[in-house]
Amino acid sequence: MTLSGFWRSALDPERVMHMGVTHWQGEVCQQRDDYLTVEEPFEIRIERQSLAVIMRTPGHDHELAMGFLFSEGVIQSADDVLSLEDAVDEDNLPLANVVSVRLRPRGQGIFAEQTAFQAQPVAFARHFAVSASCGLCGKNSIADLVQTTPPLEADQLRISATTIYTLPERLRSSQSVFEHTGSLHAAALFTHEGEMLLLREDVGRHNAVDKLSGHGLLHGQFPYRTHILMVSGRTSFEIIQKALLARIPCIAAISAPSSLAVELADRVGITLIGFLRDASMNVYTHPERII
Protein backbone atom coordinates (compact mmCIF):
# COMPACT_ATOMS: atom_id res chain seq x y z
CA MET A 1 0.00 0.00 0.00
CA THR A 2 1.46 3.35 -1.03
CA LEU A 3 0.73 6.77 0.37
CA SER A 4 -1.21 7.54 -2.80
CA GLY A 5 -3.94 5.31 -1.41
CA PHE A 6 -4.68 7.80 1.39
CA TRP A 7 -6.63 11.03 1.32
CA ARG A 8 -7.97 13.40 3.93
CA SER A 9 -11.47 12.69 5.15
CA ALA A 10 -14.27 15.23 5.15
CA LEU A 11 -15.20 13.90 8.61
CA ASP A 12 -12.32 15.73 10.30
CA PRO A 13 -9.43 16.31 7.88
CA GLU A 14 -7.03 17.13 10.70
CA ARG A 15 -7.58 13.89 12.62
CA VAL A 16 -9.10 11.38 10.19
CA MET A 17 -7.67 9.96 6.96
CA HIS A 18 -9.73 8.16 4.34
CA MET A 19 -8.41 5.22 2.32
CA GLY A 20 -9.47 2.28 0.20
CA VAL A 21 -8.91 -1.22 1.61
CA THR A 22 -9.41 -4.80 0.52
CA HIS A 23 -11.88 -6.34 2.93
CA TRP A 24 -12.17 -10.11 3.39
CA GLN A 25 -15.26 -11.82 4.78
CA GLY A 26 -14.67 -15.55 4.84
CA GLU A 27 -13.53 -16.42 1.32
CA VAL A 28 -15.04 -13.33 -0.30
CA CYS A 29 -13.12 -10.08 -0.72
CA GLN A 30 -14.20 -6.66 -1.89
CA GLN A 31 -12.90 -3.12 -2.11
CA ARG A 32 -14.34 -0.62 0.30
CA ASP A 33 -13.55 2.66 2.05
CA ASP A 34 -12.15 2.88 5.55
CA TYR A 35 -11.09 5.59 8.00
CA LEU A 36 -7.76 5.87 9.78
CA THR A 37 -6.78 7.99 12.75
CA VAL A 38 -4.05 10.44 11.79
CA GLU A 39 -0.76 10.07 13.66
CA GLU A 40 1.90 12.73 13.07
CA PRO A 41 5.02 13.98 14.87
CA PHE A 42 4.67 17.09 17.00
CA GLU A 43 7.77 19.02 18.07
CA ILE A 44 8.04 21.20 21.15
CA ARG A 45 10.83 23.80 21.05
CA ILE A 46 12.04 25.87 24.00
CA GLU A 47 14.20 28.90 23.39
CA ARG A 48 14.46 27.74 19.74
CA GLN A 49 15.89 24.36 20.73
CA SER A 50 14.01 21.10 20.35
CA LEU A 51 12.91 19.48 23.60
CA ALA A 52 10.82 16.55 22.37
CA VAL A 53 9.04 15.10 19.36
CA ILE A 54 5.73 13.50 20.32
CA MET A 55 3.75 11.12 18.13
CA ARG A 56 0.17 12.27 18.47
CA THR A 57 -3.17 12.85 16.78
CA PRO A 58 -3.32 16.49 15.60
CA GLY A 59 -5.67 18.83 17.39
CA HIS A 60 -5.45 20.84 20.62
CA ASP A 61 -1.68 20.99 20.16
CA HIS A 62 -1.16 23.93 22.51
CA GLU A 63 -2.97 22.00 25.22
CA LEU A 64 -0.75 18.99 24.58
CA ALA A 65 2.38 21.13 24.77
CA MET A 66 1.33 22.70 28.07
CA GLY A 67 0.26 19.40 29.56
CA PHE A 68 3.45 17.69 28.46
CA LEU A 69 5.68 20.43 29.87
CA PHE A 70 3.78 20.27 33.16
CA SER A 71 3.79 16.48 33.51
CA GLU A 72 7.50 16.32 32.66
CA GLY A 73 8.38 18.92 35.29
CA VAL A 74 9.52 21.56 32.81
CA ILE A 75 6.99 24.02 34.25
CA GLN A 76 5.31 24.16 37.65
CA SER A 77 2.35 26.33 36.60
CA ALA A 78 0.99 28.29 33.66
CA ASP A 79 2.80 31.37 35.01
CA ASP A 80 6.12 29.78 34.00
CA VAL A 81 5.19 30.17 30.31
CA LEU A 82 5.70 33.59 28.76
CA SER A 83 4.51 32.55 25.31
CA LEU A 84 3.32 29.47 23.44
CA GLU A 85 3.04 29.93 19.68
CA ASP A 86 3.09 28.01 16.44
CA ALA A 87 6.69 28.06 15.24
CA VAL A 88 7.86 29.84 12.10
CA ASP A 89 10.93 29.39 9.90
CA GLU A 90 13.61 31.93 9.01
CA ASP A 91 11.25 33.51 6.47
CA ASN A 92 8.54 33.84 9.12
CA LEU A 93 6.45 31.14 7.48
CA PRO A 94 4.51 28.68 9.65
CA LEU A 95 6.12 25.35 10.48
CA ALA A 96 3.63 22.49 10.55
CA ASN A 97 3.42 20.47 13.76
CA VAL A 98 5.91 22.62 15.68
CA VAL A 99 5.30 24.94 18.64
CA SER A 100 7.72 27.37 20.21
CA VAL A 101 7.71 28.06 23.96
CA ARG A 102 9.36 30.85 25.93
CA LEU A 103 9.73 30.38 29.66
CA ARG A 104 9.93 32.92 32.42
CA PRO A 105 13.55 33.60 33.48
CA ARG A 106 14.55 31.82 36.67
CA GLY A 107 18.29 31.36 37.08
CA GLN A 108 20.80 29.74 34.79
CA GLY A 109 19.33 27.06 32.52
CA ILE A 110 21.03 24.20 30.75
CA PHE A 111 20.44 25.75 27.32
CA ALA A 112 22.78 28.66 28.14
CA GLU A 113 19.89 31.13 28.46
CA GLN A 114 18.13 32.39 31.58
CA THR A 115 15.18 30.00 31.75
CA ALA A 116 13.10 28.05 34.24
CA PHE A 117 15.02 24.85 33.45
CA GLN A 118 17.05 24.93 36.65
CA ALA A 119 14.15 23.66 38.77
CA GLN A 120 14.10 20.16 37.25
CA PRO A 121 17.31 19.69 35.18
CA VAL A 122 16.76 15.94 34.74
CA ALA A 123 13.64 16.64 32.68
CA PHE A 124 15.63 18.46 30.00
CA ALA A 125 18.48 16.06 29.35
CA ARG A 126 16.38 14.50 26.63
CA HIS A 127 15.86 14.95 22.94
CA PHE A 128 14.13 12.02 21.32
CA ALA A 129 10.91 10.89 19.70
CA VAL A 130 8.14 10.06 22.16
CA SER A 131 5.98 7.27 20.79
CA ALA A 132 2.21 7.27 21.17
CA SER A 133 2.49 4.44 23.68
CA CYS A 134 5.12 6.15 25.82
CA GLY A 135 3.95 7.89 28.94
CA LEU A 136 6.57 8.26 31.65
CA CYS A 137 9.33 9.26 29.24
CA GLY A 138 12.44 11.01 30.49
CA LYS A 139 12.11 9.96 34.14
CA ASN A 140 15.21 8.42 35.67
CA SER A 141 13.24 6.43 38.19
CA ILE A 142 9.82 5.96 39.69
CA ALA A 143 11.25 6.92 43.06
CA ASP A 144 12.05 10.41 41.76
CA LEU A 145 8.39 11.01 41.03
CA VAL A 146 7.07 9.71 44.34
CA GLN A 147 9.60 11.75 46.30
CA THR A 148 8.89 15.04 44.52
CA THR A 149 5.08 14.92 44.23
CA PRO A 150 3.06 15.07 47.46
CA PRO A 151 0.04 12.78 47.95
CA LEU A 152 -3.46 14.21 47.74
CA GLU A 153 -4.79 15.81 50.86
CA ALA A 154 -7.60 14.06 52.74
CA ASP A 155 -11.00 15.22 51.51
CA GLN A 156 -14.71 14.67 52.02
CA LEU A 157 -15.45 14.04 48.33
CA ARG A 158 -18.13 11.38 47.90
CA ILE A 159 -19.33 10.05 44.53
CA SER A 160 -22.45 8.00 43.94
CA ALA A 161 -21.89 4.55 42.41
CA THR A 162 -24.89 5.28 40.19
CA THR A 163 -23.08 8.33 38.82
CA ILE A 164 -19.94 6.29 38.12
CA TYR A 165 -21.98 3.74 36.15
CA THR A 166 -23.15 6.45 33.72
CA LEU A 167 -19.65 7.56 32.72
CA PRO A 168 -18.71 4.92 30.09
CA GLU A 169 -21.75 5.62 27.93
CA ARG A 170 -21.26 9.37 28.22
CA LEU A 171 -17.64 8.94 27.20
CA ARG A 172 -18.38 6.66 24.26
CA SER A 173 -21.23 8.78 22.91
CA SER A 174 -18.89 11.79 22.75
CA GLN A 175 -16.04 10.03 20.91
CA SER A 176 -16.74 11.33 17.43
CA VAL A 177 -13.50 10.15 15.80
CA PHE A 178 -13.40 6.78 17.56
CA GLU A 179 -16.86 6.05 16.20
CA HIS A 180 -15.40 6.01 12.67
CA THR A 181 -11.83 4.76 13.21
CA GLY A 182 -11.91 2.60 16.35
CA SER A 183 -8.25 3.45 16.99
CA LEU A 184 -8.28 6.35 19.42
CA HIS A 185 -7.96 6.56 23.19
CA ALA A 186 -10.10 9.03 25.06
CA ALA A 187 -9.80 10.88 28.34
CA ALA A 188 -12.63 12.91 29.81
CA LEU A 189 -13.05 15.12 32.82
CA PHE A 190 -16.31 14.85 34.79
CA THR A 191 -17.69 16.64 37.80
CA HIS A 192 -18.39 14.49 40.86
CA GLU A 193 -22.05 14.65 39.79
CA GLY A 194 -21.32 13.07 36.41
CA GLU A 195 -21.37 16.11 34.11
CA MET A 196 -18.80 15.88 31.32
CA LEU A 197 -16.71 19.03 31.21
CA LEU A 198 -14.06 18.15 28.66
CA LEU A 199 -13.06 15.27 26.38
CA ARG A 200 -9.93 14.71 24.33
CA GLU A 201 -9.01 11.87 21.93
CA ASP A 202 -5.55 10.81 20.79
CA VAL A 203 -3.62 7.78 19.57
CA GLY A 204 -1.78 7.99 22.91
CA ARG A 205 -3.86 7.71 26.08
CA HIS A 206 -1.28 9.78 27.96
CA ASN A 207 -1.49 12.49 25.26
CA ALA A 208 -5.25 12.69 25.80
CA VAL A 209 -4.69 13.21 29.54
CA ASP A 210 -1.99 15.81 28.88
CA LYS A 211 -4.45 17.71 26.69
CA LEU A 212 -6.91 17.85 29.59
CA SER A 213 -4.22 19.23 31.89
CA GLY A 214 -3.04 21.65 29.24
CA HIS A 215 -6.58 22.96 28.78
CA GLY A 216 -6.86 23.65 32.49
CA LEU A 217 -3.50 25.41 32.56
CA LEU A 218 -4.32 27.57 29.55
CA HIS A 219 -7.78 28.55 30.83
CA GLY A 220 -7.12 28.98 34.55
CA GLN A 221 -9.16 25.91 35.54
CA PHE A 222 -6.34 23.96 37.16
CA PRO A 223 -5.93 21.87 39.28
CA TYR A 224 -8.94 19.49 39.20
CA ARG A 225 -9.38 18.76 42.91
CA THR A 226 -13.03 17.61 42.84
CA HIS A 227 -13.19 15.92 39.45
CA ILE A 228 -13.26 12.43 37.96
CA LEU A 229 -10.91 11.34 35.19
CA MET A 230 -12.40 8.71 32.87
CA VAL A 231 -10.10 6.92 30.44
CA SER A 232 -10.75 4.37 27.75
CA GLY A 233 -8.71 1.20 27.93
CA ARG A 234 -6.39 0.29 30.77
CA THR A 235 -4.91 2.47 33.52
CA SER A 236 -1.13 2.48 33.66
CA PHE A 237 1.34 4.05 36.03
CA GLU A 238 1.79 7.16 33.90
CA ILE A 239 -1.96 7.89 33.96
CA ILE A 240 -1.87 7.86 37.77
CA GLN A 241 1.20 10.09 37.68
CA LYS A 242 -0.51 12.66 35.47
CA ALA A 243 -3.69 12.57 37.56
CA LEU A 244 -1.65 13.09 40.71
CA LEU A 245 0.04 16.16 39.24
CA ALA A 246 -3.39 17.49 38.25
CA ARG A 247 -4.62 16.64 41.81
CA ILE A 248 -7.47 14.50 40.45
CA PRO A 249 -8.91 12.37 43.28
CA CYS A 250 -10.74 9.71 41.27
CA ILE A 251 -9.88 7.76 38.10
CA ALA A 252 -12.24 5.37 36.31
CA ALA A 253 -11.38 3.11 33.38
CA ILE A 254 -13.07 0.61 31.13
CA SER A 255 -10.30 -1.97 31.55
CA ALA A 256 -7.96 -3.14 34.28
CA PRO A 257 -5.14 -1.17 35.91
CA SER A 258 -1.58 -2.39 36.12
CA SER A 259 -0.15 -3.49 39.46
CA LEU A 260 2.10 -0.45 39.61
CA ALA A 261 -0.84 1.85 38.90
CA VAL A 262 -2.72 0.35 41.85
CA GLU A 263 0.32 0.67 44.11
CA LEU A 264 0.87 4.32 43.24
CA ALA A 265 -2.85 5.23 43.51
CA ASP A 266 -2.97 3.65 46.96
CA ARG A 267 0.13 5.50 48.14
CA VAL A 268 -0.94 8.94 46.93
CA GLY A 269 -4.63 8.88 47.88
CA ILE A 270 -6.35 8.40 44.51
CA THR A 271 -9.53 6.34 44.16
CA LEU A 272 -8.88 3.95 41.27
CA ILE A 273 -11.74 2.17 39.48
CA GLY A 274 -11.39 -0.47 36.78
CA PHE A 275 -13.57 -2.81 34.71
CA LEU A 276 -16.30 -0.16 34.71
CA ARG A 277 -18.94 -1.82 32.55
CA ASP A 278 -22.67 -2.57 32.71
CA ALA A 279 -23.33 -1.31 36.25
CA SER A 280 -20.30 -3.18 37.54
CA MET A 281 -16.86 -2.03 38.67
CA ASN A 282 -13.81 -2.88 40.75
CA VAL A 283 -12.64 -0.22 43.20
CA TYR A 284 -8.97 -0.95 43.80
CA THR A 285 -7.93 1.88 46.10
CA HIS A 286 -9.53 4.37 48.48
CA PRO A 287 -13.11 3.03 48.18
CA GLU A 288 -14.34 5.45 50.87
CA ARG A 289 -15.10 8.05 48.17
CA ILE A 290 -17.66 5.78 46.47
CA ILE A 291 -21.11 5.62 48.11
Mean pLDDT of 90-99: 88
Model pLDDT, residue 261: 92
Same domain, 229 and 282: yes
Domain count, the chain: 3
Assess whether 87 and 12 both reside in one domain: no
What pLDDT is stored for residue 175 in this prediction? 72
Query: pLDDT tens digits for 115-163?
Result: 433 434 334 444 445 555 555 544 444 566 666 788 999 899 999 999 9
Is pLDDT above 70 for 254?
yes
Range name among 34-38, 77-81, 194-198, 238-242 with the lowest pLDDT average: 34-38
Q: Quick check: is 209 in a domain?
A: yes
Percent of the chain with pLDDT over 90: 60
Query: Residue 147: CB partners within 8 Å, gap ≥ 6?
Result: none
Final residue of a domain: which of 112, 147, 182?
147
Task: Quote the pLDDT of residue 138.
Answer: 44
What is the pTM assigned to this prediction?
0.83
Q: Are residues 207 and 282 in the same domain?
A: yes
Same domain, 44 and 30: no
| Within-domain flag for 284 | yes
Pair 33, 46 in one domain: no
Q: How far is CA 287 from CA 51, 168, 249, 279, in A?
A: 39, 19, 11, 16
Per-residue pLDDT, averaged over 17-28, amounts to 88
From 81-85, 119-123, 177-181, 191-195, the region with the lowest mean pLDDT: 119-123
- Residue 118 lies inside a defined structural domain of this protein: yes
Q: What are the Cα distances from residue 33, in Å, to 20, 24, 99, 182, 203?
A: 4, 13, 34, 14, 21
Closest C-alpha to 181, from 1, 19, 3:
19
**Which one is predicted more confidently, 124 or 205?**
205
Pair (168, 279) in one structural domain: yes
- The whole-number pLDDT of residue 10 equals 47
Query: Does 153 or 180 have the greater pLDDT score?
Result: 153
The domain in which residue 25 lies consists of 3-37
Residue 98's CATH number: 3.10.20.10
Which residues are annotated as catalytic? 134
Shared domain for 170 and 279, answered yes or no, is yes
Decide if 216 is inside a domain.
yes
Average pLDDT over residues 63-74: 94
Q: Kindly state whether residues 22 and 115 are assigned to the same domain.
A: no
Q: In this model, does residue 8 exceed pLDDT 50?
A: no
User: Does 152 map to a domain?
Assistant: no
Q: Over the stretch 28-60, which tens digit does the pLDDT of each residue have? A: 999 988 888 888 999 999 988 999 999 999 999
The pLDDT of residue 108: 40
Q: 189-205: buried (b, 16+ CB within 10 Å) or exposed (e) per residue? A: bbebebebebbbbbbbb
The pLDDT confidence band at residue 93, using thresholds 50, 70 and 90, is confident
What is the rounded average pLDDT of the residues 247-268?
Answer: 94
Q: Do 135 and 175 belong to one domain? A: no
Inside any domain, residue 153: no
Residue 13 has pLDDT above 70, yes or no: no
pLDDT average, residue stretch 76-91: 92
Domain assignment of residue 270, yes or no: yes
Q: Does 32 share its domain with 47? A: no
- Name the domain boundary from 89, 114, 147: 147
CATH number of the domain where residue 229 is located: 3.40.140.10
90-94, 117-121, 227-231, 272-276: least confidently modelled range: 117-121
pLDDT at 80 over 70: yes
| Range 188-206 average pLDDT | 94
Residue 181 belongs to a domain: yes
- Looking at residue 289, its pLDDT comes to 97
Same domain, 21 and 47: no
Cβ-defined contacts of 140-148 (< 8 Å, 24+): 142/237, 142/260, 145/241, 146/264, 146/267, 146/268, 148/73
**According to the 3-state scheme, what is the secondary structure of the chain?**
CCHHHEEECCCCCCCEEEEEEEEEECCEEEEEEEEEECCEEEEEEECCEEEEEEEECCCCHHHHHHHHHHHCCCCCCHHHEEEEEEEECCCCCEEEEEEEEEECCCCECCCCCECHHHHCHHHHCCCCEECCCCCCCCCCCHHHHHHHCCCCCCCCCCECHHHHHHHHHHHHHCCHHHHHHCCCEEEEEEECCCCEEEEEEECCHHHHHHHHHHHHHHCCCCCCCCEEEEECCCECHHHHHHHHHCCCCEEEECCCECHHHHHHHHHHCCEEEECCCCCCCEEEECHHHEC
Q: Does one domain contain both 96 and 206?
A: no
